[in-house]
Amino acid sequence: MPESKKSPLQFSLDLALTGKGAVPQAGYAAALDKAKGALEWLRGQQGKLELLGIPSRTDDLKAAAKIAATIKDMKTVAVLGIGGSSLGGQALTVLRRQSTPMVEFHDNPDPFSWAAALTRFDLKKTHFVAISKSGGTAETLMQVLTAAEALEKAGVKSLKKHFTIVTEPHKSALADFADEIGAARLAHPTGVGGRYSVLTMVGVLPALLMGIDVKKLRAGAQSVLDETLAAKDASAAPAAAGAALHQTLAAEGKLATTILWPYADTLQVFGGWWRQLWAESLGKDGKGSTPVSVLGPVDQHSQLQLFRDGPGNALFTLVSVDTKGKGLTAPRARAKRLGLDYLAGRKMGDLVDAEARATAQTLSKNGRPVRQIHLAKVDAFEMGALMMHFMLETILMGRLMGVDPFDQPGVEEGKVLARQYLQEG
């Protein structure tokens, strides 16, 4: 078991609990009380809920590293998969430390983009990592079938060297394909749902191919898990407190939307991962809130107006990264000549820092609840921590709402119907 480190995430609920943007105190106290029970339930899940055991795993890394080593001389690795089988890996691309092979994610089966990609690839130097928990998702299978065909047409004799499959260890079309061509297979843990799978081989294999330190990724996740499980009460566990904050607003009918607002390009794609996690886990039984992922400062010039003065049924989570004193400097003399004294000699990171603070205050002063998360940097450890925080917050929120955060009947219905329509011709 790796030594546990402190969580790198700093939370502030000040603006959500005090001032004009505060949530009702009594409601928050009641939600925290409920969250305490949810936290106790989570503690009882150790050894049962497979997700909780993933960050401390090391036994699975050797096989993944071995496979990654066999692929490393390829020019391109195309990761095929959709939803939870892709979004986590995509969020990790910002941590990329190497660009050979170039790892690309292909999730949307757009006929034109995919055909163009297959034409663009130097197929003899392309490896396909097909990821599907069920092994039966039509989009991914369509990509696999067409990629195999393109490889054969390009004169590739052995498909085996061009595919790695990540899927559950049971019979499925994808597993059968792997067996048919003799491709390497890595197991998708059966107890971990797609949108919770980024720390398994689903995210780990692409991460290894991008030169990312997966041990640090998992260690970051473990730091948050440890902090959460060790918390004396819900207010001391940011994941539980965050769920309680959401639940306070939901109970009042004031949580139509939850908005994640990072002030860092490195967390933009992360927002897409989080959006699926929240939406698919909690949008059930007529309940749920729409996750909206925006980016600062750019969305100040796009959506802040609505967020400040619109219907006011959202919780804002602003995520900032140390930027103060970082980046390029606005040259003093020219800035002054142009009357831009406030920019003269200031770094671009000072501007971003000031804007993040300004947005938080603007929202709060206008009665909008704001939670703030700060981290010094976004590296593998921090990314793992953020991912675990939001997975736990989502699970705990499911408990508070009384919905099952682990199923996705709506997604399954869509899959069944699509297959039926294709069958009918």
| Residues assigned a catalytic role | 280, 301, 415
User: Least separation, in Å, of the C-beta of 405 and ligand PA5?
Assistant: 11
Q: Which is nearer to ligand PA5, 320 or 408 (CB)?
A: 408
User: Least separation, in Å, of the C-beta of 281 and ligand PA5?
Assistant: 8
CB atoms closer than 10 angstroms to residue 253: 8
Q: In whole angstroms, what separates CA 205 from the centre of its chain?
A: 16
With CB under 6 A as the contact rule, the residue among 34, 36, 127, 133 that binds ligand PA5 is 133
User: Least separation, in Å, of the C-beta of 139 and ligand PA5?
Assistant: 8
| Using rule CB under 6 A, residue 137 touches ligand PA5 | yes
With CB under 6 A as the contact rule, the residue among 164, 247, 372, 408 that binds ligand PA5 is 408
For residue 347, the 8-state DSSP code is B
Instruction: Map the footprint of ligand PA5 across residues 71-90, applying CB under 6 A.
Output: 82-85
Lateral strand order in the sheet of 10-12 = 10-12, 370-375, 314-321, 257-262, 290-293
Q: Which is nearer to ligand PA5, 85 or 90 (CB)?
A: 85
User: Least separation, in Å, of the C-beta of 174 and ligand PA5?
Assistant: 8
Q: Which is nearer to ligand PA5, 276 or 300 (CB)?
A: 276
Secondary structure class of 329 (helix, strand, coil): strand
CA separation for the pair 260, 316 (Å, rounded): 6
With CB under 6 A as the contact rule, the residue among 194, 203, 238, 369 that binds ligand PA5 is 194
User: Least separation, in Å, of the C-beta of 202 and ligand PA5?
Assistant: 8
User: Least separation, in Å, of the C-beta of 238 and ligand PA5?
Assistant: 23
Contacts of 280 (CB under 8 A, 6+ apart): 83, 84, 195, 408, 410, 411
CB atoms closer than 10 angstroms to residue 345: 13
Q: Do 222 and 77 contact (CB within 8 A), yes or no?
A: no
Contacts of 339 (CB under 8 A, 6+ apart): none
How many residues belong to the site for ligand PA5 (CB under 6 A)? 15
With CB under 6 A as the contact rule, the residue among 34, 162, 195, 389 that binds ligand PA5 is 195
Token pair of 312 as six digits: 């006011």
Residues shown for the chain: 425
CA separation for the pair 188, 208 (Å, rounded): 16
User: Least separation, in Å, of the C-beta of 124 and ligand PA5?
Assistant: 27
| Using rule CB under 6 A, residue 411 touches ligand PA5 | yes
Q: Which is nearer to ligand PA5, 201 or 292 (CB)?
A: 201
| Using rule CB under 6 A, residue 223 touches ligand PA5 | no
| Using rule CB under 6 A, residue 106 touches ligand PA5 | no
Q: Which is nearer to ligand PA5, 194 or 288 (CB)?
A: 194
Secondary structure class of 210 (helix, strand, coil): coil
Q: Do 405 and 217 contact (CB within 8 A), yes or no?
A: no
Secondary structure class of 206 (helix, strand, coil): helix
| Using rule CB under 6 A, residue 172 touches ligand PA5 | no
Instruction: Map the footprint of ligand PA5 across residues 138-167, applying CB under 6 A.
Output: 140
Q: Which is nearer to ligand PA5, 85 or 164 (CB)?
A: 85
Q: Do 208 and 64 contact (CB within 8 A), yes or no?
A: yes
Listing DSSP states for 44-79 in one string gives: HTTTTSHHHHSTT--TTHHHHHHHHHHHTT-SEEEE
Binding positions for ligand PA5, rule: CB under 6 A: 82-85, 132-134, 137, 140, 193-195, 280, 408, 411
